[in-house]
Amino acid sequence: MRLAAERHVDFSIVERYLHISPQGMDNPLVRIPGAQLLEEATMRRLLSQGQTMLKGKGLDIAASHMGLTMFNVISMMYLFMAQYNLWLSLLPEDLEFQIEQHDDHAHAGFQLLALRWKEVPLVDRAAFIEQEMRTLMQTLVIPVINVTAASAKVNPSMIWNQFGARMVFLRDFVLENDPRPHVREQFVHDYEVLSKQLTPDVFERKTNPFDHEPTYLSSPYEEGKRVILRSSCCFYYRRENGEKCFTCPLLNNEQREQMREDITRQRTAASEATAG
């Protein structure tokens, strides 16, 4: 892999936030070859196990988490394009799906078994992105999402509809945290290609799931900060003693304001306790 060797690829952010790396997780409780994710019987067993680990009330919460692991794969591609002008070609057999338990929550992600890099051109870049996204969608992302939805008996839209706001969040994260102007500029350019130029058929959808106009809310967690209203519910409330997130689109205005008051009150009490 001379191309990768010439340009060091730092997986630290991808590993920390997206749970994808060549090393894999330290102590995975679940390990499944990527190709087996396309088998409905395997996926049903995996979702059932995920429901147990998440203390979910149904398979929908596990299906949501599985869908988000596929979103993380797409996120990784866009981070590496902006940082290194590299695209990682992936097939199901290049991955091992893993789950690691952390106290009261679990992380799902992938170990990368093969690294096949392609140089992303600066000329005709949008055409390259469209071609590689079509391949990634057809060989990996769409098949996994479809078998996940079929196994959990949910509509695939439940998964796809989450992607819009989450990619906006990633864009904002890069703009706020990466100190390199060229990386920030490149990510914005590539995000515009993803969200505005790619046609819905790339994703085998009626609309482009990444074409999303975000709604920002003032954060109840930190003064002067904003949070993004999610484009679709993640179903995390569908667990034992679960509740909806402050940014859940299922909340009405009255419920959200009540939650804001509760969070602000708890934050004030914690601050006073620390100061005392």
Q: How far is CA 3 from CA 87, 95, 237, in A?
A: 11, 20, 44
Q: What is the mean pLDDT of the chain?
A: 94
Residue with tokens 């060989």: 139
pLDDT value for 184: 98
pLDDT value for 276: 59
pLDDT value for 40: 96
pLDDT value for 5: 44
Name, in order, each residue with C-beta under 8 angstroms of 5's C-beta and a sequence gap of 6 or more. none
- The residue extents of the domains of the chain are 2-275
Q: Is the pLDDT higher at 76 or at 1?
A: 76
Sign of the alpha-carbon torsion through 205, 234, 172, 79:
negative
pLDDT tens digits, 16-63: 999 999 999 999 999 999 999 999 999 999 999 999 988 999 999 999
Element (H, E) at 227: strand 226-228
Q: Can you tell me the distance from the alpha carbon of 160 to that of 152, in angstroms, rounded to the nearest whole number?
A: 15
pLDDT at 273 over 90: no
Q: Is the pLDDT higher at 73 or at 273?
A: 73
Q: Report percent pLDDT > 70 for the chain.
A: 96
pLDDT value for 93: 97
Confidence of residue 275 (pLDDT cuts 50, 70, 90): low
Rounded mean pLDDT, 103-125: 92
Name, in order, each residue with C-beta under 8 angstroms of 137's C-beta and a sequence gap of 6 or more. 202, 203, 204
pLDDT tens digits, 171-195: 999 999 999 999 999 999 999 999 9
pTM of this structure: 0.93
| Residue 38: closest CA among 141, 109, 184, 164 | 141
Q: How far is CA 33 from CA 53, 91, 110, 161, 204, in A?
A: 20, 11, 10, 27, 25
pLDDT at 205 over 90: yes
Rounded mean pLDDT, 125-143: 98
Confidence of residue 12 (pLDDT cuts 50, 70, 90): very high
pLDDT tens digits, 241-265: 999 999 999 999 999 999 999 999 9
